[in-house]
Chain A
Amino acid sequence: AQTVTQSQPEMSVQEAETVTLSCTYDTSESDYYLFWYKQPPSRQMILVIRQEAYKQQNATENRFSVNFQKAAKSFSLKISDSQLGDAAMYFCAIKIIQGAQKLVFGQGTRLTINP
């Protein structure tokens, strides 16, 4: 079974600054995908970034990047140049490639952007 832990229930950052959200996971599988999703208040879940476990290079999407440490089973999200629109719940999730197709989510981190 897979588990995902987000140890920071809440984080805040000043607009234009950089913030890092933490995520650790546990799985006995070697092939899997990792995701960060964003859920703004009363709005739907949106994919932020994804990482294939077999790729050593960290994924990057504009202001969003990850620090993927496979041996440590760590998958943190860095948001650069934070904007007011980045305020949301952020969920880390894992999906194994073979077998169960479900996403297993962490408990989420609520990110507040201070103007």
Chain B
Amino acid sequence: DTGVSQNPRHKITKRGQNVTFRCDPISEHNRLYWYRQTLGQGPEFLTYFQNEAQLEKSRLLSDRFSAERPKGSFSTLEIQRTEQGDSAMYLCASSLAGAGTDTQYFGPGTRLTVL
């Protein structure tokens, strides 16, 4: 069990550019979640997948955000036309549905800075 991994760990971009983040969940986990965390706040839910199906999206996920999980394995989160307000830590978590409390295990996050 290697844990949840996220790449890149840091991303600096200019306003208006597109960025893409990757998350690799714990291998047997069928659920994958994306959260956004701004400085000094708790994480806020963005979206989640069960296998390859995107089952829930937050209102925080504007049209500039898109997430995919092809083949139910890794996931990508893309932000188009980035804005300074997108600067945050983007956290990925995974869990195994039906396993007790369905506990979510988090990755180290990708810190995005939009200049």
Contacts and interface: CB of A to CB of B under 8 A. Distances in A.
B45 A108 contact: no
Contacts of A104: 45
B11 to A, nearest CB: 16
A93 B102 CA distance: 13
Contacts of B41: 107-108
Interface in B82-115: 91, 93, 101-109
Contacts of B58: 102
Given A43-B108, A45-B91, A45-B106, A105 B42 contact: yes
Q: Is the interface of A mostly helix, strand, loop or mixed?
A: strand
Interface in B17-73: 31, 33, 35, 40-45, 48, 55-56, 58
Contacts of A15: none
A35 interface: yes
A91 B42 contact: yes
Given A43-B108, A44-B108, A108-B40, A52 B48 contact: no
A73 B41 CA distance: 21
Please list the 3 inter-chain residue pairs (A to B) with the smallest Cβ-Cβ separation, ordered nearest first.
A105-B42, A102-B45, A45-B106
Interface of A: 4, 33, 35, 37, 43-47, 50, 52, 91, 93, 95, 100-108
